[in-house]
Each structure stands twice: as C-alpha cells, then as structure tokens.
Structure 1
C-alpha cells in the first residue's frame, strides 16, 4: 500500500468536525477528498476552508449518501486513509429513533466496508462518549474505553443509541475483514470550539442559546467538553500512530455543567454574555418547560447525571494536554460573534 498517494477521504466534510479535520489534513500536506450529499455545496466548502488558510489545490469532492450504495467503491479509489466523520447529530430527538439510527449504522457499514474492500490502510471513525457512558445505573465511577452504553435503558436517547450501534457496526465490519488493527474510533464528548462559517450546527446552537437569553436559568445538565481542534488533531493522529489501531480513544477535557459554561462565557465575554443564565433551575421546572421546548424535553433524562470519563487515551494520542473546556466554549462564542450570529 506504500505506493498509494496520501489521499484521505473525509465523509461529512461540510460539517463542524469534518471541516476542522479537513483543515488539519490539508495543513499537513495530505490530499483531501471530501464527500457531500450534493456537489452543489462544494464551492461553499472550498471557500470556507480557503478562508481559514487551507491550500484548496489539494481538495476534491465526491457525492455520497449514507443511505445509498452508489459511489462508495469509486470514492475509495486511490485513498490511503478514511476519516468517517459523517453522522446525524441533533439536540431535539426525532419521533422515530430510526431516523437517526438507520443513517448512522448504514452509513458506517457502507463507508467501512468500502474502505477495507478498497485496501484503505487505516479507517478512523468518529464515535462519541454517547457510545460509552449512557444507560448505566452507577455514575459514581469513571467510564473508560472498556465501557459500552446500555441500549436497553429507557433513558438512552436515539442519538446515544445511534452512536453505540454505529460504532459496534464499525468494529463488526472490521472483524469480518480481519482488519481490526486497521480501525480506530474517536469517542469525543460534547464538541465546542471555533465555527468555520455561519452554520451554527448543533454544538454552536447550545452556546448560542446560552448567550441569547433563550435559556433564562440553567438546567442541571453536565457534559464532557472537548475542543473541536483537539478532536480533529486526534482523528488525524489516529491514521498513522502505530499504537492507535484496534482501539477506542476518548477525547474529553473536563465535565462542565450548563451553569459552569454560562459562568465561563460571562467572565470572558461580559459584553456578549450578559443574558447567560446566572442560576440553576429546579429539575421539576426543567421538565415542565420541556413539555413546550422540544430541545430541552429531549434531554431531561440527563438531569442530575455527571458522567466522568477517562480521557487519557485521547491525550496519549495527542501527546499533549487538551484545550481547557471553558476555552473551547469561549472560542465558540467568539466565532458566533464574528459570524454575527449573536448580538
């Protein structure tokens, strides 16, 4: 495989994480082939990456759909590494959980199968701590890469189940090819950090709502925070690190409550974050509001749970400390201001 060019297929290149992965790959001299559901978006992606300093002469695009077989084999032609980043992510859960689960699982199966069939050297799949630390009875311990979310728990959301089943599908496909050591998964916490364009995305939406006053008091919800630049760096490192294959890698800096996030935003950006919540909301009030606010209602099962995860595997992959969680949140807020998405 050494005669293959250093071309990397990045699925979901138009997304928040996909764009950052592409930026880091281009900066390191790789040729990037980005997948899009429609090539009509190609020029916008090209301009966005160029605006952040990318050499887009080594950027190309292919049309791919997570729910269709067409084009996957051709997309792997001449590809040395696959970064499978594409997967649906929402704050508001759909009425039919299969609207999330099916594209996540089927897309992963298509991508990983096509990669190994095409002789790709290593596959890196973006999973999540949602595939690790949800649906358990005991949250007093720290979760590790040995843990798996319990899909039978009624408290597991459609999103968490989609990440769990998609990651398991990736490992199952790798095993069927006898290629377990050629697969690595990245399991990040809640990804914050600088936006690349005016697309707020799901991660940016959370910070935007904290800034614009639409969350007057903070629900007692906590998240393991990680900066998108760290996740992208880990994704790229996992392609070539000799010890990365055959393993899961948790990316998380620290656990932060919504109230702590709001406080960090007010401290760093007082002129912007004046409407960020200044106190926490009782759980019963959150559940009541959740009856009318689907984004809050979809996440009330998270109330009161603090999920601690062991991020050492990710830090070893990065070979450096992670960007502090508060800094990641502030970076999101600054980019929202730069894109004129908050007043």
Structure 2
C-alpha cells in the first residue's frame, strides 16, 4: 500500500500541478473538492496531463464547515493544504476572504494533528511576507519577514494569507510540532494550464493578450513557475530538513510592460492586441475608476518587491525556471484552450 496524501484544493491551478507531482512520485492522492460532481473533470484533466489516476481518490470538504475533515484524514500520512480563496478583485466584505482562509487552515491542521499526520505543507504566499512595509525598501524579502498588517496598501487578500499562515504556526507550535510544518510562499504563479480555467494569475496574461488592456500599468509582477511551486510542495513534504521553515518563491520581478514585450516576441500573431505603451501612474489611477482589477492593485504602482528564493532553490536542488519561460507557457496554454 502506498503512502496517502490528503491534497486540499486539487481542482485549482496549483492543486492540479501538486497532484501531478505526488502521483508521479508514487503516492496515493486523496483530493478534496467542495462538490464531488467535479471529480470526473479533475480525473480527466490529470489523466490528460499524463498522471496515473488509479491512485486518485476524492473527498468532499468545505473550508467553512466541520463535516468530513476527520474522516478525510483516515489513513493519511501527509497533508498538502493548497486550498484558499484567491482573487484579483477585493470583495466589499474582507471576511469573505479572511474567514475561509483562516478557518480552513484551522480545520485542516487540527484534523491532521488529531490523525497524527507526519508532515503538513501549507500553501501560503509572498502576501504573508512582503506587504505593509516601507515602499523604499530595496532588499529582498526573506523567510524572516512578515507582512505588516498595520502598514499601507494591505488588501483583504494579503490579510487573509498572513492571518492564515500565522494561525498555522500557532497551531503547530501549541501542539509541540512546529518542525512538522513547512510553508511555501510563492509570488504570482504562472506556467502551463491544465484545463480551460485560467484561474487568477493567468488572467493577467490573458488580459495582456486579448486586447482588454490598452496600455501597461506600471505595476510590477513577481513571477514563479507553477511547476517549481508544485515540486517545492513535494520536496518540503519529504525532506527532513524542510520542517519548521518557510520557503519564499519568486524568480524575477518585472513590470507589465516587460511581460508584454516577452509575449509580443513569443506570439507575433497576437502582437497587435498586446499593449506597447506604459501608462503613467496618474492615468492608471483614472483607469482604475473603471476597472476593478486595476483599482484593487493601485497600491502596488511602481513598488518593486523582490523575494530571496535561495532556500527554495536549495530545496529543489536546482535553479528556478526563468519567468520568461513561465509567461510564454501561460500564453501557449491560453491559446491552446481558445482563451485568447
């Protein structure tokens, strides 16, 4: 009998890639979905990506409900908790993001501890590390940094990821098992899509390619490839040295105009729709009055953030996939699925 891993959020962009890594490494994967009606689609998606789905199971779990968590942990050796709400547009009530993120983490980790699961890997974010700080900071953010929730520009999403990760460490510390938790803290995740759902990060590339962004806002993107993030989840689960540590992951920081230039060169047939000009900040603020996605990210105008990913590269045993390749892989997927 192979070791079983409970993977929450298996139907998501990252969750699907983590499932591929786990199945490829020989694990039995018990994936959680909110509704079991989605399981056929997830099976077909993973099989199409080359996975052996004979070791794939499903369970219905809700981040905001107690039902099923203890049963889902039966026979599980490891927990991979990737499920958490992620949006571009901030909701009117910030608790729409904070409550499921924090309560879902509490339910997952408490059930894992009750079942004596060996290692927990939590998908956190650079949102829990690099926000609310002085905008003049030029030094890379490290695993020792935490987002300052009292600082400027903190969004409900940033708050949700920070509070959820802090709660995870509190739970494990109180149980005397802090070294059995590892967190992966990626930046914006790009790379090949597994299905026709662009998710959140790929929507940024989609908008650059489909003509809906007339000019590029001077908003920086910190990018990481989904394949690296998924492999880091597996490595953090099986590496004894990974326990008790956070792993920031961001390969490169660039402005939207730089990303647009990469896409224009890679996809000449779509170049006409990809913006060539960069909007002045004052114009972006005006544009944000009419575009909710832009309005939700105005606090990032011109603010360059970099992540120290050295711990992640040591964990993986190699350099990270270049951001250029990640954006191109995203574009290729969007075209293949007819999304641009």
User: What's the TM-score once normalised by structure 2's chain length?
Assistant: 0.98
Structure 1 residue corresponding to 2:289, chosen from 291, 295, 306? 291
Alignment check: 8 A CA contact 2:27 2:55 kept: yes
Alignment check: 8 A CA contact 2:121 2:184 kept: yes
Say whether 1:46 aligns with 2:43.
Answer: yes
Give the 3-state SS of the residue equivalent to 1:57 in structure 2.
Answer: helix
Structure 2 residue corresponding to 1:214, chosen from 208, 212, 215? 212
Structure 1 residue corresponding to 2:54, chosen from 50, 53, 57? 57
Distance 1:207 1:139 in 2: 27
Distance 1:327 1:56 in 2: 28
Distance 2:299 2:160 in 1: 17
Alignment check: 8 A CA contact 2:133 2:152 kept: no
Structure 2 residue corresponding to 1:27, chosen from 16, 20, 24? 24
Say whether 1:141 aligns with 2:139.
Answer: yes
Give the 3-state SS of the residue equivalent to 1:271 in structure 2.
Answer: helix
Structure 2 residue ranges without an equivalent (≥5): none
The alignment yields a C-alpha RMSD, in angstroms, of: 0.9
TM-aligned CA deviation for residue 5 of structure 1: 4.4
Distance 1:112 1:265 in 2: 40
Number of corresponding residues: 339
Distance 1:98 1:314 in 2: 31
Residue in 2 aligned with 1:36?
Answer: 33
Structure 1 residue ranges without an equivalent (≥5): none
Distance 1:69 1:5 in 2: 27
Distance 1:272 1:125 in 2: 37
Alignment check: 8 A CA contact 1:139 1:305 kept: no
> Deviation digits for residues 188-227 of structure 1, max 9, x if unmatched?
0100000000011101111000001111111111121000
Say whether 1:74 aligns with 2:78.
Answer: no
Residue in 2 aligned with 1:13?
Answer: 10
Say whether 1:163 aligns with 2:154.
Answer: no
Alignment check: 8 A CA contact 1:5 1:78 kept: no
Distance 2:154 2:115 in 1: 35
TM-aligned CA deviation for residue 279 of structure 1: 1.7
Q: How does 1:153-232 map to 2 (within 5 A)?
A: 153-232=151-230
User: What's the TM-score once normalised by structure 1's chain length?
Assistant: 0.97
TM-aligned CA deviation for residue 273 of structure 1: 3.4
Distance 1:300 1:155 in 2: 8
Q: How does 1:209-288 map to 2 (within 5 A)?
A: 209-288=207-286
Residue in 2 aligned with 1:90?
Answer: 87
